[in-house]
């Protein structure tokens, strides 16, 4: 029997969630919800979705099994809690929660209700990122000692409504909570829990405060992560630079892993070698993406693992859970506190 799904949010949700659920035979997309009923109806008719809503509570109360939330982050906590109270399974998009307190509450609700809560850190399913996990597990670079991550873009060079939430510090905004949070998920997946954080966060752009936002969030910064397992992570990020670049370097005692983008290409530089060697994902990793590159392909593999957890109660080690979301949110909160107080801060456990 297929899993009946309702999607809340038609911007990102309409681009990524809706096509993925419609393509996967394990799911039946039966409802969508948008802020206006007219838009919801038009979208539903265009995509042959039988029901549409403007009130998410009505959709959650209907006969669905899974609620997929792709709204702005400040709405996540309330929508997730409402869905879990009805014992619906939940997918919640990134940025996960505005605060660790919210993340802890919904994580405990998942445990108490026996539902499946998945945080949409789906980039961990990109074939090259899965390959990195395999290479680290096999000891391809020896013992990892240092992770370096750079992420630069012009996403916040000028404010607009599409990125409004990222400017709002009081609602969990800032660059840390967006794309950088995926790197924080990778880092803890590869090296385990972060023990302590040092951070510098700042606002380098000179923008007019968007209407209604009282506390402008960071657009740039750097982090130093101290992992319980020993490695150090050095993160640099900004969303107000003209030159876009995303890269990872994982340095080990016997070599270095070089990752372009969020898993676009991977190579290994052996200690003492003259040039890096390109690495290629196993064919099954590529086949599981159903021919889609990038985020859509990763989302489709994520849905396969999610269906296994919902239908058969078997949660794979790859599936990003609410607990993973909570761990990322705790690191983000520790980083913000470290930046405010100018000191190294221990991550809550």
Note the pLDDT tens digit of each residue in 177-204: 888 999 999 999 999 999 999 999 998 9
Mean pLDDT of the chain: 95
Residue with the larger pLDDT of the pair 155 and 20? 20
User: Per-residue pLDDT for 214 more than 90?
Assistant: no
Structural domains in the chain, sorted by start? 3-122 (3.40.50.720), 124-297+326-346 (3.30.360.10)
What pLDDT score does 163 carry?
A: 77
Query: For the purposes of burial, counting CB atoms within 10 Å of the CB of 144, is it exposed (0-12), middle (13-18) or buried (19 or more)?
Result: buried
Q: Which residue has the tokens 């221990």?
A: 346
| Residues above pLDDT 70, as percent of the chain | 99
According to DSSP, residue 17 is labeled: I
What is the distance between the alpha carbons of residues 63 and 6, in angstroms, rounded to a whole number?
Answer: 9
Section 238-255 average pLDDT: 96
Per DSSP bridges, beta strands 277-279 and 220-227 are unpaired
What is the distance between the alpha carbons of residues 55 and 33, in angstroms, rounded to a whole number?
Answer: 7
Note the pLDDT tens digit of each residue in 27-55: 999 999 999 999 999 999 999 999 999 99
User: Per-residue pLDDT for 160 more than 80?
Assistant: no
At residue 11, φ and ψ (nearest 5 deg) are -80, -90
What is the distance between the alpha carbons of residues 179 and 156, in angstroms, rounded to a whole number?
Answer: 12
331 in Cβ contact with 193 (< 8 Å): no
What pLDDT score does 210 carry?
A: 65
Ranges 128-132, 156-160, 255-259, 303-307: which has the least confidence: 156-160
Which residues make beta-bridge pairs with 198?
224
């Amino acid at each position: 029997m297929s899993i009946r799904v309702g999607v809340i949010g038609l911007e990102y949700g309409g681009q990524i969630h809706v096509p993925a659920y419609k393509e996967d035979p394990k799911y039946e997309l039966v409802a969508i919800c948008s802020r206006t009923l007219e838009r919801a109806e038009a979208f539903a008719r265009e995509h042959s979705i039988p029901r549409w809503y403007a009130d998410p509570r009505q959709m959650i109360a209907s006969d669905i099994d899974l609620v997929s939330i792709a709204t702005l982050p400040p709405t996540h906590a309330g929508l997730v809690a409402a869905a879990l109270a009805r014992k619906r399974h939940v997918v919640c998009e990134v940025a996960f929660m505005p605060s660790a307190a919210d993340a802890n509450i919904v994580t405990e609700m998942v445990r108490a209700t026996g539902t499946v809560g998945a945080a949409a850190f789906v980039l961990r399913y990109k074939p090259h990122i899965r390959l990195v996990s395999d290479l680290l597990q096999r000891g391809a670079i020896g013992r990892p000692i240092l992770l370096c991550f750079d992420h630069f873009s012009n996403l916040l060079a000028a404010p607009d409504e599409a990125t409004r939430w990222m400017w709002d510090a009081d609602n969990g905004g800032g660059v840390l909570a967006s794309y950088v949070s995926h790197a924080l998920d990778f880092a803890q997946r590869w090296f385990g829990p972060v023990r302590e954080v040092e951070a510098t966060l700042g606002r380098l752009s000179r923008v007019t405060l968007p209407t209604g936002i009282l506390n402008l969030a960071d657009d740039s910064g750097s982090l130093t992560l101290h992992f319980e397992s020993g490695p150090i992570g050095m993160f640099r990020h900004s969303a107000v630079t003209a030159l876009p670049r995303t890269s990872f370097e994982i340095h080990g005692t016997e070599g270095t892993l070089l990752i372009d983008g969020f898993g676009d290409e991977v190579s290994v530089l052996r200690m003492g070698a003259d040039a890096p060697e390109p690495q290629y994902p196993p064919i099954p990793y590529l086949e599981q993406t159903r021919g889609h590159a990038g985020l859509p392909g990763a989302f489709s593999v994520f849905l396969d693992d999610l269906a296994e957890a919902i239908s058969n109660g078997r949660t794979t080690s790859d599936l990003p859970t609410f607990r993973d979301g909570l761990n990322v949110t705790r690191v983000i909160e520790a980083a913000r506190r470290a930046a405010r107080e100018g000191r190294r801060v221990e991550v809550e456990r």
